[in-house]
């Protein structure tokens, strides 16, 4: 049975190196196996579930929220952000050299797709690892990014990734475990973080009962990474959206507000309003380098 050491994964049970076993017989699925015999089968959709023990208590995105996110992103509304994230990562690639990217909280894998399309044209061998705690999200991500290793795991637990394995970690509107990101990044690696800025989707938030984005997010971001990372550069991306009421409902529903909103009731409410023109999405992409002696 052929097995390969890449990508640089480690067993969530014993910390040993995980290898990908790809059975040659038709119908058998690949699996991840460590030297101690712990084994994780690929799900039918191609992702691996490496969640062991009790995950952090959290409210997982529902299948409907994930579908809303997929539809909204797939329609291309946030394309300028995907392009900008991709450019930020591309700037870190050495042409022809191997490149490993970890997308933490990958969701439906939308931004990783954009990154891989661009990076694979420039880098040598590209290795991609994507993780998320939601298997609904990873089902989509595994379909969109079959060349990535898609892992269900909890970012607040030790990550199932080897030390100094990644050239870049991307974190797009997802939780940040600074210590673990520092551990899995190479000393010359970079952390690329996307956050919303104050005023993000403000006019829609007012209509739809979403939480407004507070000011001082920047200070909070730097604080959450302090001791492990220092900001190196930042770029703002503003997108003026033109949306149908259904798209606005998807946009409201795909975020944290989706846990307490009824998407269909929201679509009806938004339908009755004047079209909310000029909903503005305001993002910041910040690139961090590891602090001296952090990992």
> Is 61 among the residues that bind ligand SAM (CB under 6 A)?
yes
Q: Residue 34 or 281: which CB sits closer to Zn ion?
A: 34
Question: Contact with ligand SAM (CB under 6 A): which of 154, 167, 180, 250?
Answer: 154
Q: What is the nearest approach in angstroms of Zn ion to the Cβ of residue 163? A: 16
The residues, any chain, with a CB within 8 Å of residue 42's CB and separated by 6 or more, are 29, 30, 31, 48
Q: What is the nearest approach in angstroms of ligand SAM to the Cβ of residue 3? A: 27
Q: Residue 33 or 50: which CB sits closer to ligand SAM?
A: 50
> Is 180 among the residues that bind ligand SAM (CB under 6 A)?
no
Which residue, judged by CB position, is nearest to ligand SAM in the bound state? 107
11: its two tokens: 């067993």
Report the distance separating Cα 86 and Cα 99, nearest Å.
14
8: its two tokens: 């640089």
Question: Contact with ligand SAM (CB under 6 A): which of 172, 248, 261, 266?
Answer: 172
> Is 150 among the residues that bind ligand SAM (CB under 6 A)?
no
Tell me which residue has tokens 């480690």.
10
Considering only residues 98 through 137, tell me which ones interact with ligand SAM, judged by CB under 6 A. 105-108, 110-111, 132-134, 137
Beta carbons of 291 and 229 less than 8 angstroms apart = yes
Q: Quick one: what does residue 137 bind among ligand SAM, Zn ion, none, with the CB cut-off 5 to 8 Å set by partner type? A: ligand SAM
Considering only residues 22 through 81, tell me which ones interact with Zn ion, judged by CB under 5 A. 34, 36, 38
The residues, any chain, with a CB within 8 Å of residue 14's CB and separated by 6 or more, are 34, 36, 38
Q: Residue 66 or 126: which CB sits closer to ligand SAM?
A: 66
Report the distance separating Cα 287 and Cα 215, nearest Å.
20
Tell whether the torsion through CA atoms of 88, 48, 162 and 228 is positive or negative: positive
Pairing of strands 99-104, 48-49: unpaired
Report the distance separating Cα 275 and Cα 18, nearest Å.
52
Q: What is the nearest approach in angstroms of ligand SAM to the Cβ of residue 27? A: 31
143: its two tokens: 């379909």
Report the distance separating Cα 149 and Cα 108, nearest Å.
13
Check residue 261 and report its DSSP letter.
Answer: -
Q: Quick one: what does residue 180 bind among Zn ion, ligand SAM, none, with the CB cut-off 5 to 8 Å set by partner type? A: none
Q: Residue 16 or 196: which CB sits closer to Zn ion?
A: 16
Q: Quick one: what does residue 132 bind among Zn ion, ligand SAM, none, with the CB cut-off 5 to 8 Å set by partner type? A: ligand SAM
Tell whether the torsion through CA atoms of 15, 148, 105 and 292 is positive or negative: positive
279: its two tokens: 């909903």
Tell me which residues touch Zn ion (CB under 5 A): 11, 13-14, 16, 34, 36, 38
Tell me which residues touch ligand SAM (CB under 6 A): 56, 58, 61, 69, 105-108, 110-111, 132-134, 137, 154-156, 172-175
């Amino acid at each position: 049975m052929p097995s390969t050491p890449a990508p640089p994964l480690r067993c969530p049970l014993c910390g040993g190196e995980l290898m990908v076993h790809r059975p040659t017989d038709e119908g058998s699925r690949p699996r991840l196996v460590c030297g101690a015999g712990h084994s994780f089968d690929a799900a039918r959709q191609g992702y691996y579930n490496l969640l062991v023990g009790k995950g952090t208590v959290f409210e997982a995105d529902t299948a409907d929220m994930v579908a809303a996110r997929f539809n909204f992103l797939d329609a291309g509304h946030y394309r300028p952000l995907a392009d900008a994230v991709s450019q930020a990562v591309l700037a870190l690639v050495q042409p022809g050299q191997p490149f490993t990217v970890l997308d933490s909280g990958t969701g439906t894998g939308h931004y990783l797709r954009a990154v891989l399309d661009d990076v694979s044209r420039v880098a040598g061998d590209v290795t991609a690892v994507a993780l998320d705690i939601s298997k609904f999200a990873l089902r989509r991500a595994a379909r969109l990014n079959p060349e990535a290793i898609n892992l269900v795991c909890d970012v607040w637990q030790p990550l199932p990734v080897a030390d100094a394995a990644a050239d870049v970690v991307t974190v797009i509107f997802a939780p940040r475990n600074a210590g673990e990101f520092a551990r899995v990044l190479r000393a010359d690696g970079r952390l690329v973080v996307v956050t919303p800025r104050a005023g993000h989707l403000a006019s829609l938030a007012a209509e739809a009962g979403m939480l407004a984005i507070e000011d001082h997010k920047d200070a909070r971001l730097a604080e959450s990474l302090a001791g492990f990372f220092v900001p190196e550069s930042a770029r703002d991306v503003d997108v003026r959206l033109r949306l149908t009421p259904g798209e606005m409902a998807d946009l409201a529903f795909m975020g944290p507000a989706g846990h307490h909103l009824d998407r269909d009731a929201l679509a009806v409410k938004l339908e009755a309003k004047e079209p909310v023109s000029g909903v503005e999405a305001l993002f910041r992409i910040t690139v961090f380098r590891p602090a001296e002696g952090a990992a």
